[in-house]
A and B are shown apart, each in its own frame.
Chain A
Amino acid sequence: MRFADLLGFAWQVVLGYRSRTLLILLAMGIGVAAVVTVTALGEGARLYVVRQFGSLGTNLVIVLPGRSETSGSMPGVLIGKTPRDLTIDDALALKRSHAIRRFAPLIVGAGDVRSGSRRRETPVLGSTPELMDIRSMELASGRFLPAGDPRHSQPVCVIGTKVAGELFGNRQALGDWVRIGDRRFRIIGILAAQGESLGFNTDEIVIVPLAAAQALFNTESLFRILVEAKSRDQIADAKADVEEIIRLRHEGEKDITVITQDAVLATFDRILRALTLTVGGIAAISLAVAGILIMNVMLIAVTQRKREIGLLKALGATGRQIQMAFFTESAMLALGGAAVGVAAGEFGRSIISQIYPAIPFEAPWWALVAAPVTAVVTGILFTVAPARRAARLDPVQALSRR
């Protein structure tokens, strides 16, 4: 029997028993759609986290005061009063390391920013010019913080686009002055719109020189130091150097936490991937259910079409041909169901994407391959028993009216 004829024959069956076909398409479709949607959710969450970390900058090593017991756990919890503060001098000492390309000390606080009668509460970051490259920030206009000794500062600031819009409207913000607390700062740069990046929306921040922030918030201690290693291979060296340099400065005590982007990212990546696989696997159980449905439907078909099978044998069909006819039929149904499922899953995904536009929901390629393949394999596996039963049917009995 030619392959095209086999397909044609199966197609006639699929068309001939419509309600049965719809039932299987529905069951397979639900299973595949579940896998596609659920893995898209998991993968979306994973990509979201990965991109958030990626937006921090490349080869990033973050130094924060306080000792964290388990590396890789969320470190933010440990800010606050710690045995010893991180200082500007600690940061400047990092220049000794050969593994470090650049670093930026960071102080963060909330500031009351005013221009004329308009005011706005925004996060205020105190840092050095290196921050721009480390965080891969871009300027819409003007320039970034001026270079110079971080212990002394000029009264200048760089503001996010949203802050500029809210304080100045259509007026020119660049070159104008704002008040933060009781100090005046000249706006020398406006950041390009970039959006959210791990907790900070850069459109809504104001950046001032480090010393200015120290004065504003009346603090000596750094919130953290962002360090960029010279290359990906030197991240580990940079981390070791940072730990050693600060330990020596802190009288031999290891009272800082150094997080590498890689380690945290790898942990999240692993957790979220495992999660996606797990939920995908759970969703795939519905495929097995669909497979069992196919088996039952096929067993019924063998009984229903007993006479037809007997006839095919009388016309010279071999047992193999009969089996192939059944396999083709179930593969066709499973593929159809998979197509319906992928379409429905993508539809569901696009709806969720519209509700949460920030998260890149996207079914991973392996799910898009695995779900239909699983559907077809399940379909065929569960057809083995019915197909063999059909092939073994005694034609004389099958044809008789008994």
Chain B
Amino acid sequence: MIRLTGIERTFTVGDEQVHALRAVTMQIARGEYLSIMGPSGSGKSTLLNILGLLDRPNAGSYELDQRDVTGLSDDELARVRREKIGFVFQFFHLVPRLTAAENIELPMVLSGVDPAERAPRLGQLLAEYGLTERSGHRPDQLSGGQCQRVAIARAMSMRPGVILADEPTGNLDRHTGQEVMSVLERLHENGGTVIVVTHDPEIGARSQRRLRMIDGAVASDEKG
């Protein structure tokens, strides 16, 4: 359960103030499937970063699972992020020197999960995302779709309640993009909250709730 109230985010570029988010107020229920659309520069990524606790708003408050996370310290934010949020990026962001399996395992390693507990979870994730045969490959030996599946598996490894995806299909061809979207949708079907930023109206249309942003503000919010 996410509740944003009056979120503002401004950047200072030279002498100019760029208003990336203006008075964003909204609620996202647990298990919702939400797409965020809008022109480039409208604040979609900024909103996602704030939802993912990677960035802090200049004003407003953010409540995640009945807890106000606006004033938390960096380390506390890191801990909340680790447990509750999974990120999927447009450019995959896999660690190039690590294998697919090691990349997927990374959040569990950072959280200090026992290796004995890690192994079965890793095997399960590899199987679930069709990566078992690729587990020992490094990112440069994987296709774009496989990379994004590794990234999604990694985002899921700590079983977070919320998955945030910033243009996850932006770097993939149409067919692979569809495939990745169905993987994300499966997460939603299993009860996860999925929030996807996208350019592609066709992809946006698949979600049950569609947010449209213009110039840092929420222009429309449609359901159904």
**Chain A residues close to B by CB (< 8 Å):** 1-2, 4-5, 8-9, 12-13, 15-16, 307-308, 310-321, 395-396, 399, 401
Nearest CB on B from A1, distance (A): 5
Interface of A is mostly: helix
Residues of A within 8 A of B49 (CB): 396
Flag if A321 contacts B110 (CB, 8 Å): yes
Q: B49: nearest residue on chain A (CB-CB)?
A: A396
> What chain A residues lie within 8 Å of B143 (beta carbons)?
none
Q: Which 5 A-B pairs have the closest CB atoms?
A: A316-B82, A16-B97, A318-B78, A318-B75, A316-B81
In the complex the two chains form, is B110's CB within 8 Å of A317's CB? yes
Among B59-67, B87-95, B125-133, B196-204, which stretch is in contact with chain A? B87-95
B179 at interface by CB-CB < 8 Å: no
Distance between A135 CB and nearest chain B CB, rounded to angstroms? 67
Asked if B111 is at the interface of the complex by the 8 Å CB criterion, the answer is: yes
Q: How far is the CA of A35 from the CA of B73 in the complex (A)?
A: 45
B109 lies within 8 A of A9 (CB): yes
For the complex, give the distance between the alpha carbons of A318 and B74 in Å.
Answer: 7
Contacts of B112 in A (CB 8 A): 1-2, 5
Q: How far is the CA of A399 from the CA of B154 in the complex (A)?
A: 16
Beta-carbon contact of A318 and B93 below 8 Å: no
Which residue from A16, A310, A314, A316 sits with its C-beta under 8 Å from B83?
Answer: A316
Expressed in whole angstroms, the minimum distance between the Cβ of A130 and any Cβ of chain B is 74
Could you give, for residues 53-80 of chain B, a 1 whenever the CB lies within 8 Å of some chain A CB and a 0 otherwise? Answer: 0110000000000000000001100110
Q: How far is it, in angstroms, between the C-alpha of A399 and the C-alpha of B158 when the chains are bound?
A: 21
Q: Can you list 23 contacts pairing A with B, beta carbon distance less than 8 Å?
A: A2-B115, A5-B112, A9-B109, A12-B97, A15-B97, A16-B97, A307-B93, A311-B93, A311-B95, A312-B106, A313-B54, A313-B78, A314-B54, A315-B82, A315-B106, A316-B83, A316-B110, A317-B110, A318-B75, A318-B78, A319-B74, A396-B54, A399-B54
CB distance from B63 to the nearest CB of A (A): 20
Contacts of A399 on B, CB cut-off 8 Å? 54, 89, 93
Closest to A311 in B: B93
Q: Is B52 an interface residue (CB 8 A)?
A: yes
Residues of B within 8 A of A (CB): 49, 52, 54-55, 74-75, 78-79, 81-83, 87, 89, 91, 93, 95-98, 102, 106-107, 109-112, 115, 154, 158
> Which single member of B74, B87, B97 contacts A314 (CB below 8 Å)?
B87
Contacts A314-B52, A314-B87, A318-B79 given; does A1 touch B93 at CB 8 Å: no
In the complex, residue of chain B having the shortest beta-carbon distance to the beta carbon of A3: B112
* Set of chain B residues within 8 Å of A15, measured between Cβ atoms: 97
> A314's closest neighbor in chain B, by CB?
B87
- Inter-chain CA distance A307–B102, complex, in Å, is 17
Tell whether, in the assembled complex, residue A1 and residue B54 are in contact, meaning their CB atoms are under 8 Å apart. no
Bound form: Cα–Cα A181–B110 in Å:
90
A398 to chain B, nearest CB (A): 10
**Could you tell me the distance in whole angstroms from the C-beta of A389 to the nearest C-beta in chain B?**
15
**Residue among A12, A310, A312, A395 making CB contact with B110, cutoff 8 Å:** A312
Known: A5-B115, A317-B82; 10 extra A-B contacts, CB below 8 A, are A1-B111, A15-B97, A311-B93, A315-B87, A315-B106, A315-B110, A316-B81, A316-B111, A321-B110, A399-B93
CB A111 to nearest CB in B, in angstroms, measures 78
A311 to B87, CA, bound (A): 9
CA distance A13 to B49 in the complex (A): 28
Task: Tell me the bound Cα distance from A131 to B112 in angstroms.
Answer: 74
**Contact: A1 with B82, CB < 8 Å?**
no
Within the complex, what minimum Cβ distance (angstroms) separates B108 from chain A?
A: 9
* Cβ–Cβ contact A316 & B55, under 8 A: no
